[in-house]
Amino acid sequence: MTAFVVFNPNSAGGGTGRDWREIEEALERVFPLMSFFVTTAPSQAAHMVRDALHDGHLEIIAVGGDGTINEALNGFFLNGMPVAPDAVFSFVHSGHDSIISRHFGIQPGWQAGVKHLLQARIHKTDLGRVSCLSAGGTPLTRYFLGQASFGLSASIARSLGRARIAHLFGHAFATSLHRFVNRLRWRGTRVRLMADNYDEIAGIASVSVAPARGLLDMRVLDAAGRPDESRSLHTLRLTAAPILDTAAAVEVECDGESAGILPACFDIYPAAINLRI
């Protein structure tokens, strides 16, 4: 059986492309037979993974940053249904910082990712799922492995996704700069949060949710950007909507990649994917 590898040479400031020969040789020790697809534009990873699954590939590996991994993950689903329920997903994060890697306790960097795969086992893994609106108002659904959020964190994710400065000065500098700029511009906003036995209008900077043992772990940063433990909870579903006096759209991100805007519904999708982890 041939593993299908989708990789983004532009991730990690172009480092994935520069290191590709070494990454390929390391992966061949885990998957001796591989075929490859190189992404050249946004959303290609999802389309190519979906095509590969339709063609009978049952082992998919994404190599790149959180965005590439999330796009590949979303290729496993079509119209809310799995394309190939028996297929297995693996990932190698090639950057310096990763929401997804942190979620699974894996060190970032492709060397650590490949090393982890050498001893990884296949597990039925929960996913988060968000239904929100595109910037143009079209309903959309996305799945996430590590975390989704809305508010300031999603604004930062959108800025980073468009940034070219990382190629010149590095990812760490670009991340710090865009966090600083977005925090200066950010104005706390109020949203209605509805979850299990919970319904409240709250002033927030960001709200994040992450899959955690069959539930979503919800964390809130208040309007001043401080952790609000009184609103932390575990829930099956979170619905969020801006209230009428919210002047601007409230953005949503999945696994560090801009996804859309509120209103949105976040829920847990139990045992949704076979993950080699």
* pLDDT tens digits, 11-62: 888 889 999 999 999 999 999 999 999 999 888 999 999 999 999 999 999 9
Share of the chain above pLDDT 90, in %: 78
Helix (H, G, I), strand (E, B) or coil at 236: coil
Contact 58/89 with Cβ under 8 angstroms?
no
DSSP code of residue 114: H
pLDDT at 165 over 50: no
Q: Cβ of 91: how many Cβ atoms within 10 Å?
A: 29
Residue 108: what pLDDT?
83
Residue 175: what pLDDT?
59
Q: How confident is the model at residue 155 (pLDDT cuts 50, 70, 90)?
A: confident
Query: Token digits for 198?
Result: 């919970």
> Any idea of the CA torsion for 277, 101, 159, 48, to the nearest 10 degrees?
-20
Element (H, E) at 153: helix 152-162
Residue 67: what pLDDT?
93
Residue 185: what pLDDT?
66
Segment 188-203 shows an average pLDDT of 93
pLDDT of 233-258, one tens digit each?
999 999 999 997 777 899 999 999 99
For residue 241, CA distances in Å to 91, 109, 150, 189, 201 come to 33, 36, 10, 11, 9
Minimum mean pLDDT range among 169-178, 188-197, 238-247:
169-178
Q: How far apart are the first and last CA of the chain?
A: 19
Pairing of β 215-222 and β 198-212: antiparallel
pLDDT of 212-231, one tens digit each?
999 999 999 998 889 999 99
Q: What is the mean pLDDT of the chain?
A: 90
Q: How confident is the model at residue 179 (pLDDT cuts 50, 70, 90)?
A: low
CA distance 201 to 190: 7
